Structure 1
Amino acid sequence: MVKNKLSIIMTAYNVASYISSSIESVIAQTNRNFDLIIVDDCSTDQTQKIIRSYEEKYDWISVVCHKQNAGVSAARNTGLASADGDLVTFIDGDDWVEPDYVEHFLSKFEDYDVDMVTCGFFNEGENGKVKNKVSSRQTSIVGRDEAIKQIIRMTGTVMGYTWNKAYIRSIITDNNLRFQTDLDLMEDQVFNVEYATVARQFYLDNLPLYHYISRKDSITKRFAMENVRDVGVARMKVYKAIRDSTRKEKDQME
């Protein structure tokens, strides 16, 4: 049973206007059994200055700065390389979380023998207006097939995001899982499917604890044509991960 620390990996790139709110929401957590690793992907604004000020103030915050801009996948990989918690999750530097975000993940891993725990989320515009429908509380423990089905869905409360999920770090390291640095889109879905193929049980919960802020200058809106290529490549990688896992299971049964 996993009872130990959660490592939160926060990625940041030119988010000086938002990063303080994101960090403050982590500081406000009710459960203190975590550390925060902030990876700055070579920001050109005041982001680095802001996160360094927090690092100086709190001994459980550490900052890693890329010397060259390498993208969010590389930043998450850098965070994983620095993490030492038994569990790991991810937060984007321009989003924020509810005070019991950490408590939710730690308590569910303690109460249930599972390899992944999810939470729900608010999809908000920059004006704070919630875009998605938040439904009544639903929880379930599911196997691999159902988890993958929920991860690759384009709707729902699970989907391919990493910031509404917590993972067992040893599963990531033992299976050499990494984010694909050649994708600017859906890299998180590929990671989640690859993780799911080597995991067993999943605790799915739609309790909304993460605030995803949909911004006008987001990558999904900036590069519409390039996205077509990334979606195609990501889907192929997802298909390959599922196919390889199915073959491995068949080989083990023979």
Structure 2
Amino acid sequence: MKFSIVTPAYNEEDRIEKCINSVRRQIFDDFEMIIIDDGSVDGTSDKVKKFTSIDERIKLIQLSENVGLTAAKNVALDQVKGDYLVFVDADDWILPNMLSDLAEQLNNYVDIDMFRLKGRKVFSRDEDPAPDPDYEISLSTPVDLIRENKMSGYMHNLVVKNSIVQSNHIRFTPGRVVLEDQEFTMKCMVYSSNILYYTKKNYLYFQRPGSLSNNVKTEQIPDIIECATNVYECAQNRFTGDKLHSFRDYTIIKCNQFLKAVLRDRDFPPEQVKAYMNTFFNKVNLPFHIRAMQSLKLIPVQVAKRVGF
């Protein structure tokens, strides 16, 4: 089997049929779609069962209670059988040529470990645009993507070899709410040598009303720095020298994101900022300290004053 499509769902009764139908309409038909109903209290599972009864490629895992998005996806990762993993959210949909385009590129390029894709944001569930005629395609390495700032934090931008995920036991960090997808993607990048940067927009990402804000809640701010630390520790297991330094550059970007989130959130305790930063510096083993970061303007002046760096 070429592709395993992973779709977590929680109370998606009104949206999941469009998602499933878009998968069933794929030109390339060598796939399975694993839908994890994460303890829905509506008719999500009943909608899915209508498809499992007529299409053996559609499979349902029904959880007895809501365990959260990361844990639900981990359940699916223990079941997948395809050569490559594709992630489709239950309220999104894909164009009919998505899997066939991926299969074509797998024939054009030798031993692709991972795809870095791009999705197309839509604001109406009635939109079904034509395939994207203009796109970029290039063979890259993890270091290339970091240096060119072409990483992504969305699961729909990732297609990865199942063997990489399983042999290195890459899983979503349970309970992670912020950057959980980016942490998983970056860990996959660590173990990928050949990455195809392929921006044909065959994935339609539905932007729900009211979901435009990217503000991080106070209790979620630590997720940012913990993501950076976990990715770097993963990279340390494989890389040294310049390659490891590239992942360290990524962690510094996340560190700055953490500090800017602290700056916006007046409720985050200053003493916790210092504690998280000290842990970060010890684990990442950066060759300079907080004062140096401040002088390089990697720490906002307002944060430094508030925390007392």
Q: 1:231 aligns with which of 196, 213, 224?
A: 224
Contact 2:92 2:205 in 1 (8 A): yes
How many residues are matched?
240
Higher strand proportion: 1
1:1-254 alignment, distance < 5 Å: 4-113=1-110, 114-126=112-124, 136-149=134-147, 153=149, 159-216=152-209, 218=211, 224-247=217-240
Per-residue deviation, 1:219: 10
In 1, Cα distance between equivalents of 2:49 and 2:215: 29
Contact 1:179 1:191 in 2 (8 A): yes
Which secondary structure state, in structure 2, belongs to the residue aligned with residue 51 of structure 1? helix
TM-score (norm 2): 0.70
Per-residue deviation, 1:245: 3.3
Using the aligned pairs only, state the percent identity. Answer: 25
TM-score (norm 1): 0.84
CA pair 227-135 structure 1, distance change in 2 beyond 3 A = farther
In 2, Cα distance between equivalents of 1:47 and 1:217: 22
CA RMSD of aligned residues (A): 2.7
Bigger Cα displacement from structure 2, 228-237 vs 50-59: 228-237
Per-residue deviation, 1:197: 0.7
In 1, Cα distance between equivalents of 2:180 and 2:146: 15
Contact 1:148 1:196 in 2 (8 A): no
- Structure 1: 5+ residue stretches without partners: none
Contact 2:6 2:86 in 1 (8 A): yes
CA pair 148-176 structure 1, distance change in 2 beyond 3 A = farther
Per-residue deviation, 1:49: 0.9
In 2, Cα distance between equivalents of 1:60 and 1:15: 20
Per-residue deviation, 1:218: 4.9
Per-residue deviation, 1:10: 1.0
Per-residue deviation, 1:127: 6.7
Aligned to 2:259: none
- Between the two structures, name the one with larger relative contact order (CA 8 Å, sep ≥ 6): 1
